[in-house]
Structure 1
Amino acid sequence: MPNTLTETDFARLFLDEIPMIDLRAPVEFTQGSFFNAHSLPLMSDEERAAVGTCYKEQGQDAAIVLGHKLVSGEIKTARLKAWCEFVQTHPNGVLYCFRGGLRSRTTQQWIIDDCGVDYPRVEGGYKALRRFLIDSTERIVEKMNIIVLSGRSGTGKTRLLKKLENSIDLEGIANHRGSAFGNTTTPQPTQINFENNVAVALLKAEAAGFTTIVIEDESRNVGSLHVPPVMHEKMSQSPVVNLVVSDQDRIDITVQEYACDIHQDYCDQFGDAEGLGKLEEHLLGSLAKLQKRLGGERYARMQKSMKSAVAQLSDNQGYAAFANVFGELLLDYYDPMYDYQMSKKSERIVFNGSREEVLHHLQTVVDYKS
């Protein structure tokens, strides 16, 4: 009987980053999959749609016949070749379809017949794996202690998180820095992929033996993505450690991350000439998101300052001019909002300190590992 993996194997698939063949159609893969999955579909989007229509109109038997007709001859040969190459490259891998049904059983048998390898199939398919990750998030968040790392914008909270073994970087997983200027040069993942990757991070923290995890203070959304409700609810009740950094350090960090680093990323992707234009478009677009809150006069002034900073960068005068506009945003716009939010969390603040003090507190004072 062909090899089948059940729920008892699911954690290992993610913890050991086992390569997976995702047999679903490309549109299904795009909507949501797993970081260790590779799209090698049994059917194209068009073929899947045709089989689905046939199933509705004529029933399962007719749909199966149509599926075998569509995936035959040279098409079947090409797909089998891709699967067998994957199997040879990743002998420890697995395959799945949506529900672990006909698509994966058919492909598994074809691989046995053509490659002589009984490649494991995930029972329940993508749907079962997705359910496992959702349940894992709820289970682990319920039992884990969470410490929320807070601090004004520009304090370098993410930098500090990366020095902690027991941290989960939601902004990194979301590919977004969490503010109006938080977009990176590449798109955010889908909501499903974000949730799946958060669940895997929690599974890895659990497997490492951590009983406490440190998470940066976030709103319900990180860019266009929503923090899993069970996690955000736990964060809203958890103790807060507050990072305190000088205003000049905050401005320097913000210029580095929101101007220098983004500019370099754009240049790496598009070349120096186009990269500068992409930076200007990115910064002005981000500023425009705040137009209503800033008010017309202040927005117009900041827009002018931002354009001037980009022009000075174009003239090889460096990034220094960005300090003016980012400094005003930090001190006059973001700080009042931060102070208001922190006033509602004051009873949960358990520690205030510098970067070194906070790091020492989280590494040595807090008993975070079993």
Structure 2
Amino acid sequence: MAHPLFDDFRQIVLQRRSLIDVRAPVEFAKGAFPNAVNLPLMDDEERRLVGIRYKEKGNAEAVELGHRLVSGEVKKKRVQAWCDFIDTHPDALLYCFRGGQRSQISQQWIDEAGYEIARLRGGYKAFRRYLIEETERAVGRFEPVVLGGRTGSGKTILLRELDNTIDLEGLANHRGSSFGRKITPQPSQIDFENALAYELVTKLEAGYRRLVFEDEGRNVGRVYLPDLLAEFLGNAPLVVLETPMSRRVEITFEEYVTQAQNDYRKMGFPEPLQAWKADIQSAIDRIYRRLGGKRHAIVSEMLELAFSEQSRTGEREAHKTWVEYLLREYYDPMYDYQIEKRAERVIFRGDADEVEAFLKQRA
């Protein structure tokens, strides 16, 4: 029987279709798609051996070796994993790199097990190309607005109140500053780009013609925006959120101290507070040159004293001293310099309520 193919990539995005990626784990780790699960036809070692055979003796013998390596109980377990996923995700689609032999073989084995699944025409490569092109096409199809403000002003909190936003920090799994690294790793560059494309396609399909982004620059941690989009946002109107220092200290303290320490506990670190402190000190050390030796020594001592206080009493409040010091001495001068260079792009300034009302009026 003919095995079905599927190439309506737009519907995959809009419906958030589940995907079975049958490439090897090493390929999946380099980049895949939202809602994709890696259930490989061959593991990394099997793929390596088949690749060697292909180079030495050609396709036919490589395929024959692949069938020998993935047979018996190995084959049974892999087919069962696919069928189990289809049971819980009946809308799932299947892909390999180019939509060729690996997905065809997987599709055939699934069919022989009594299940049916369509595979992506052109595989990973075709869908990836579609998402890159959609990101490029999106530029110019909406009016961008960039939300700026000093560190800790609550930009991310405000953006969560709006529907016409794209959360770059969320997609990048990074808080967007020198101290923004999270315990869990950032996505690969390809994963970030694919997730961003999904968001752009979805927002534009929903009819939004104005999208709000946090003021991140080109990089969010170690991932970066595609060139065309970065240039587009780099010339966008700026809305500046103005927040009193006391509130900024509270927001930064809650995220970088309270939530971060809780995250270390949840992740099961043997000594979570020590691990958190080491991470904060490492972040301070990374900005040594920009801080200068004197300020680096001051903030490091503040951290040490606050940590000792927390260890002795269980209270975190003393950490607000080094949080405020960093905001005043490091972040604010840097931000003020940057915003001054872009003053002509600023179209509105206000507190959280005023900025939220302004952005909602322009949604």
The answer to whether the 8 Å contact 1:255/1:319 transfers is no
The answer to whether the 8 Å contact 2:237/2:346 transfers is yes
* Structure 1 counterpart of 2:267, one-letter code: Q
The answer to whether the 8 Å contact 1:145/1:212 transfers is yes
1:1-370 alignment runs, 5 A limit:
1-6=2-7, 9-115=8-114, 117-270=115-268, 274-364=271-361, 366=362, 368=363
Alpha-carbon RMSD across the aligned residues, in angstroms, is 1.2
5+ residue gaps, structure 2, are none
Please state how far the C-alpha of 1:17 moved relative to its aligned partner: 1.5
* Structure 2 counterpart of 1:2, one-letter code: H
Q: How many Å separate the matches in 1 of 2:193 and 2:5? A: 26
The answer to whether the 8 Å contact 2:23/2:41 transfers is yes
The 10-residue stretch of structure 1 (292-301 or 168-177) with the greater mean CA deviation from structure 2: 292-301
Identity %: 45
Q: How many Å separate the matches in 2 of 1:315 and 1:132? A: 56
* Structure 2 counterpart of 1:312, one-letter code: E
Q: How many Å separate the matches in 2 of 1:168 and 1:47? A: 40
Please state how far the C-alpha of 1:317 moved relative to its aligned partner: 4.7
Q: How many Å separate the matches in 1 of 2:194 and 2:307? A: 38
Q: How many Å separate the matches in 2 of 1:84 and 1:355? A: 50
Q: Give the match's secondary structure for 2:153.
A: coil
Q: Give the match's secondary structure for 1:298.
A: helix
The answer to whether the 8 Å contact 2:217/2:234 transfers is no
Please state how far the C-alpha of 1:2 moved relative to its aligned partner: 0.9
* Structure 1 counterpart of 2:74, one-letter code: I
Q: How many Å separate the matches in 1 of 2:247 and 2:311? A: 25
TM-score (norm 2): 0.97
Q: Give the match's secondary structure for 2:211.
A: strand
Q: How many Å separate the matches in 2 of 1:156 and 1:212? A: 21
Q: How many Å separate the matches in 2 of 1:328 and 1:214? A: 30
Query: Which 4+ stretches in 1 moved above 6 angstroms?
Result: none
Q: Give the match's secondary structure for 1:167.
A: coil
Q: How many Å separate the matches in 1 of 2:140 and 2:43? A: 40
Q: How many Å separate the matches in 2 of 1:101 and 1:329? A: 54
The answer to whether the 8 Å contact 2:136/2:228 transfers is yes
The C-alpha deviation readout for 1:157-212, integer Å capped at 9, x for no partner, is 00011111000110111111111110112111111111111111111111211011
Q: Give the match's secondary structure for 1:338.
A: helix
The answer to whether the 8 Å contact 2:131/2:194 transfers is yes
Please state how far the C-alpha of 1:51 moved relative to its aligned partner: 1.0
Q: How many Å separate the matches in 1 of 2:320 and 2:116? A: 60
Please state how far the C-alpha of 1:35 moved relative to its aligned partner: 2.0
The C-alpha deviation readout for 1:307-329, integer Å capped at 9, x for no partner, is 11112122235222122111111
Please state how far the C-alpha of 1:81 moved relative to its aligned partner: 1.1
TM-score (norm 1): 0.95
* Structure 2 counterpart of 1:92, one-letter code: D
Q: How many Å separate the matches in 2 of 1:185 and 1:315? A: 25
Q: How many Å separate the matches in 1 of 2:314 and 2:38? A: 46
The C-alpha deviation readout for 1:37-74, integer Å capped at 9, x for no partner, is 11100001111111111111111111111111111111
Q: How many Å separate the matches in 1 of 2:137 and 2:346? A: 26
